[in-house]
Structure 1
Amino acid sequence: MPYLWPPPVITGTIGGVIEAAGLTKRYGSTLAVDDLSFHVEPGRVTGFLGPNGAGKSTTMRMILGLDNPTAGDVRIKGQHYRDLNRPLRTVGALLEAAWRHPGRSARNHLRWIARSNEIPQRRVDEVLELVGLTSVAKKKAGGFSLGMLQRLGIASALLGDPEVLLFDEPVNGLDPEGIHWIRQLMQALAAEGRTVFVSSHLLSEMSQTAQDLVVIGRGKLIYQGTTEDFIDRATHQSVRVRSPQLAELREALTRQGAQVDEDDGTLTVSGMDSDAIGELAFATGATLHELSPRRGSLEEAFMQLTGEAVEYHAGDHGAAPETT
């Protein structure tokens, strides 16, 4: 099924911000979210990351008023979700893509949602085209694949042309083309000034999509800031070096205080950037065949900073059900 490319511009009032302060949620003796405070700014894609059981889905449900916090507060544009007038025109959300009446067509599913918030019916066909479901608009949603349901859920989130968008695992079930499309769509929405808050376990995708991150573990805030800073804080940069004068170059690098590891005729250098290494090689008279900076990945940074906050490890037996 076709996707529109590039994503069409979605018009509307732009702006919006999410603010959580001391957000706490208990389920009996289980503390799912623990004194969590963060803010999500407009105009950027903010990734919401954490291990399984970290409290991400619970937090998103509290933002949308589906669960009441035990303590603390969370607001959208300074208001609780329940107090928003025609909320779908302010906030669009995808939490569970499979939520739909199996006997309704895709178009009728969106039509009744639109009617509930006084959204013009023409908007239904606009979002169906936007997500690539026009050709199956009259088919019953009960026969949809997971990927098609995901796109129908995205259409529901976009229906009110909202200022604020929350997506929980939006690429589940999508093929590579669909993943690329939703990434570009989220970035385009943020570029218009909208607030885009997205939870995902696909760290490689988040590294390409999100400019900012909110990272939690065991319900607590671990990090809030830019994706770039998160990676730089948790990983070290190195430079891959190949040269026919490897021994001379290694000795010169070591004298300058660089950390040098050698493996199969290649040096991995830490503590010195590629410019400094190139200048030192020139001064040493060493020919360079390769000088490749290597930056840490979001996955490496995530594992480094959230390792102690993982609720369930492979090999655990009899673990309790997860609260995401």
Structure 2
Amino acid sequence: MIEARGLTKRYGRTVAVNGLTFTARAGRVTGFLGPNGAGKSTTMRMVLGLDTPDAGDVLVDGEPYRRLRDPLRTVGAMLDATWRHPGRSAREHLRWLAASNGIPDRRADEVLTLVGLDTVAKKRAGQFSLGMLQRLGIATALLGDPRVLLFDEPVNGLDPEGIVWIRRLMHALAAEGRTVFVSSHLLPEMAQTAQDLVVIGRGRLIYQGTMEEFVARTSEHGVRVRTPHAEALRTALGERGAQFTEHDGALVVSGMDSDALGELAFTAGATLHELSPITGSLERAYLELTREATEFTMEQQGAAR
């Protein structure tokens, strides 16, 4: 488990993280979201003891990172996949880290096999593609068989097969009772990966809870309907007091489910060519909730030109 309590970090006059409190639970994949400059990287660095908070604290399984006796056996992290000595092979890189933490050499080969790099274990890391470096970074995080894992943009450089692989890996790690904390800007992928969410903006907590609750509470829901008898359906909707808008030749009706709308259309004599529920999405919910926390929007960019 990761517990942040009132985390605050300043760089000069800039407040990067401001009184941030959240929990990432064991047995769950927690997505960490926020606009550029929201304080995500700073927060993850404070979790790992790389930055010292100006106020508040953060605990990993009940202890500050710097007090952990065997840090790699408790926490595994990938914040920068390009961090490695280019002249060392993948196996040498992992064995060097293993030796520094009292981890057997054989564990390096185990994690290389797990991430699909066993066939290039002797190849110099400087010759790796970005996707291979991502896999090596993930292997590094898994080296100590830790209970808590942090990943920053883990799918960068991975092909579609690799993206599915890392998603399944994170789900499997969480199913084993581990804490998986992952930051990413790829919202469609996060929607398929995260079970819980921590969303921040301008260093402050905006939302913490499940993915389902986040999408349901912040997004509009309705039913999209197309009919050649639109006027008849509009009249019936008006008599029912239903709210609707028109978009791309269709009516978008809120406050009614598909069954009720279909029955109303039948009664009104309106033939339906489309009747499809509009469900919430992570992307829509995220953009709605973080609109005021985005430092430089596309509208601002256009105005600046």
Report what 1:60 is aligned to. Answer: 44
Report what 2:240 is aligned to. Answer: 256
Cα 1:135/1:290, change in 2 over 3 Å? same
Worse overlay, 200-209 or 259-268? 259-268
Report what 1:75 is aligned to. Answer: 59
Please give the alpha-carbon distance, in whole angstroms, between the structure 2 residues aligned to 1:136 and 1:184: 22
1:284, CA displacement in angstroms? Answer: 3.5
- Out of 86, 89, 94, which is 1:105 matched to? 89
Please give the alpha-carbon distance, in whole angstroms, between the structure 2 residues aligned to 1:193 and 1:253: 50
Report what 2:2 is aligned to. Answer: 18
Find out whether 1:272 has 2:253 as its counterpart.
Answer: no
Worse overlay, 281-290 or 37-46? 281-290
Please give the alpha-carbon distance, in whole angstroms, between the structure 1 residues aligned to 2:2 and 2:129: 32
- Out of 183, 187, 192, which is 1:208 matched to? 192
Aligned residues: 302
Written as runs of structure 1 = structure 2, the 5 A alignment for 1:1-324 is: 17-263=1-247, 265-314=249-298
Cα 1:264/1:308, change in 2 over 3 Å? closer
Cα 1:234/1:139, change in 2 over 3 Å? same
2:122 match: secondary structure:
coil
The answer to which structure has the higher helix fraction is 2
Runs of 4+ in structure 1 over 6 Å off:
none
Please give the alpha-carbon distance, in whole angstroms, between the structure 2 residues aligned to 1:31 and 1:131: 38
What is the Cα-based RMSD across aligned positions, in Å? 1.8
2:276 match: secondary structure:
strand
1:60, CA displacement in angstroms? Answer: 0.3
2:31–2:197 CA contact under 8 A, matched in 1: yes
Q: What is the TM-score when the length of structure 1 is the normalising length? A: 0.89
What is the one-letter code of the residue matched to 1:106? A
1:246–1:265 CA contact under 8 A, matched in 2: no
Report what 1:322 is aligned to. Answer: none
Q: CA deviation digits over 1:124-150, x for unaligned, max 9? A: 111111111111110110111111111
What is the one-letter code of the residue matched to 1:270? S
Cα 1:178/1:262, change in 2 over 3 Å? same
2:232–2:269 CA contact under 8 A, matched in 1: no
1:22 match: secondary structure:
strand
Can you give the 5+ residue segments of structure 2 that lack an aligned partner in the other structure? none
1:263, CA displacement in angstroms? Answer: 4.3
1:264, CA displacement in angstroms? Answer: 5.2
1:209, CA displacement in angstroms? Answer: 0.8
Please give the alpha-carbon distance, in whole angstroms, between the structure 2 residues aligned to 1:253 and 1:162: 57
Percent of counterpart pairs with the same letter? 72
2:225–2:272 CA contact under 8 A, matched in 1: yes
Worse overlay, 233-242 or 135-144? 233-242
Cα 1:123/1:235, change in 2 over 3 Å? same
1:250 match: secondary structure:
helix
1:78 match: secondary structure:
coil
Please give the alpha-carbon distance, in whole angstroms, between the structure 2 residues aligned to 1:41 and 1:95: 20
2:32–2:199 CA contact under 8 A, matched in 1: yes
Can you give the 5+ residue segments of structure 1 that lack an aligned partner in the other structure? 1-16, 320-324
What is the one-letter code of the residue matched to 1:230? F
1:254, CA displacement in angstroms? Answer: 2.4
1:46–1:210 CA contact under 8 A, matched in 2: yes
Q: What is the TM-score when the length of structure 2 is the normalising length? A: 0.94
What is the one-letter code of the residue matched to 2:62? G
1:275, CA displacement in angstroms? Answer: 2.4
What is the one-letter code of the residue matched to 1:135? T
1:262 match: secondary structure:
strand
Please give the alpha-carbon distance, in whole angstroms, between the structure 1 residues aligned to 2:100 and 2:266: 70
